[in-house]
A and B are shown apart, each in its own frame.
Chain A
Amino acid sequence: MSNTILSLSSKFLKYFEDLGRFQVFVAKILKVMCTRPFRLSLVVQHAYNFGVESVFIILLTAFFTGSVFGLQIGYVFSIFRAESLTGGASALALATELAPLVTGFLITGRVGAAVTAEIATMVVSEQVEAMEAMGVDPIDYLVVPRVWASIFVMPLLCGLFMFMGIVGVYMTSLGIYAIDPGVFVAKIISLVEVSDILSGLRKMFFFSFIISFLCCYEGLSASGGAKGVGMATTQAVVKVLMLILISDLVISFIEVWWLR
């Protein structure tokens, strides 16, 4: 019994220690983000890696997500003879919920895991220590440019997801439920407001911080060779996905109950 209590309390202590370290890490990032030098070329390079190289997978996933969503929601509306609402309802769901959430998941898998693995490999092969030995702060060189790149690129990818998702919905709506294109667009315009699109982009903006902060943090905290790199990557992905889901609920709750 006492062993169980000891084990639990040490786990709690470790959790709070880790949380404290993460807070210090975030504070350092925010401080460095506001100070020179701004490493513009690194930001552009990471923005290219995060953004341009993710476009294809974002477009593909968005198209299929939109198509399936349109198919399912169209079926439900068809029961009530309200197929014409398919476009508007799907677009609303895509803008406020699906696009930021699925984009966040995709970016975590494609970019976040790669960032953690790359930084963790640099840690275990002494590259980060070499950087520090040369008087270069790893937060300044490795983390902050990635955070800036995430902030710029991820909301754009989310916007792209929204657009392509609606294209997917449009294809199924026209192809399967024979909805008039004019009606499809008119319902989107009447149901989806600019604030809905901004709400999705705002969520993605918030998720971009979660993804970049946590993935870089787990990478820099890695230790112990190849196994350590693997563990750091898994931990980063699991934590980011959980935190995205939790924060999505919190943000949605605030928006729906307090701001509307």
Chain B
Amino acid sequence: MIRFENVVKSFSKKVILNHLDLEIPKGKITFIVGKSGEGKSVVLKHILGLMKPDSGRVFVGGEDITELSGENLRKHRQRFGMLFQMAALFDSLNVYDNVVFPLKESGHNDEKENLRKIEEVLSMVGLPDILNKFPSELSIGEKKRVGLARALVHNPDIILYDEPTTGFDPLIAEMIDHLIVKVGRKRPDLTSVVVSHDLKATLESAEHIIMLYQGKVVLSGTSKEFRNTENKIVRQFFSGKQEGPMVFL
């Protein structure tokens, strides 16, 4: 389980996370939603230890990661896989070298075993036989899938998705959503955290949803609870209406 305790994070004078308390359950697909600038990606960066809170604590699997540094932080990060918005594949490396990267960096140097794992994850994301291609030769949908393969190849405990479908056409977006669910089902112990603006996919795919507003959790619960809530902020956000208590800046 991932837990935030009273976390405050500011940039310049703007408070992004305002005494945030949240819990992300283990082994489920959790979607974090909220309007732009609410600190959803900041939450992911705190989980990974890429950012430190100004105050408060972040726990991952019971371990306080707030003060981790050096080798401990490196080991902490190796428990994760992360799919970035634009996949963030390394331009200078081909697909094989991109996907093998986290394996080699975590000390797996058996070439045969690495190749087997890479072929397994690439076929899972529906992209066999592209090992020698470079990112510039791939479509954006293929890049995303290679990015997902790279995030999964070292068998992480937790996988983070940073706005995986933002900016894509509905077909690619749906394909990625299906992959998120497929990956979650194939490994029931895997904790998936998805930062998303895609509300339809959130309600369809999420096993748990957290909505952030003004640096705090407005509602945390299942899709059913979100559909049936009376919370006006949540209802306004999911209906996409301008009128309501939510302030748009």
Interface residues of A (CB under 8 A from B): 118, 121-122, 125-127, 129-137
Contact = CB atoms under 8 A, between A and B. Distances in A.
Interface stretch (B76-84, B167-175, B193-201): B76-84
Interface in B76-124: 76-78, 80, 82, 84-86, 88-92, 101-102, 105-106
B50 interface: yes
A135 B103 CA distance: 11
Given A133-B48, A133-B77, A134-B101, A127 B91 contact: yes
Contacts of A135: 73-78, 105-106
A167 to B, nearest CB: 36
B91 A134 contact: no
Q: What are the 8 A-B residue pairs with the smallest beta carbon separation, nearest first?
A: A135-B77, A130-B88, A126-B88, A135-B74, A135-B78, A133-B82, A134-B102, A126-B84
B50 A132 contact: yes
A134 B88 contact: no
B91 A130 contact: no
Nearest to B76: A135
A132 B73 CA distance: 10
A44 to B, nearest CB: 15
Nearest to B147: A130
A126 B74 contact: no
Contacts of B75: 135
Interface residues of B, number: 23
13 contacts: A118-B92, A121-B91, A122-B90, A126-B85, A127-B89, A127-B91, A132-B77, A133-B50, A134-B78, A134-B105, A135-B73, A135-B74, A136-B101
A33 B48 CA distance: 25
B105 A130 contact: no
B105 A127 contact: no
A132 B92 CA distance: 17
B19 to A, nearest CB: 26
Interface in B159-212: 160
A136 B88 CA distance: 14
B84 A129 contact: yes
From A127, A132, A134, name the one whose CB has the most chain B CB atoms within 10 angstroms: A134
Contacts of B76: 135
A136 B48 CA distance: 12
Contacts of A118: 92
A121 B88 CA distance: 11
A122 B76 CA distance: 23
Contacts of A137: 74
Nearest to B83: A130
A123 to B, nearest CB: 11
A134 B103 CA distance: 10
A125 B84 CA distance: 10
Given A118-B92, A125-B86, A135-B106, 20 more contacts: A122-B91, A126-B85, A126-B86, A126-B88, A127-B88, A127-B89, A127-B90, A129-B84, A131-B90, A132-B50, A132-B77, A133-B50, A133-B77, A134-B77, A134-B105, A135-B73, A135-B74, A135-B77, A135-B105, A137-B74
A129 B84 CA distance: 9
A93 B73 CA distance: 52
A125 B90 CA distance: 9
Contacts of B88: 125-127, 129-130
A118 B90 CA distance: 11
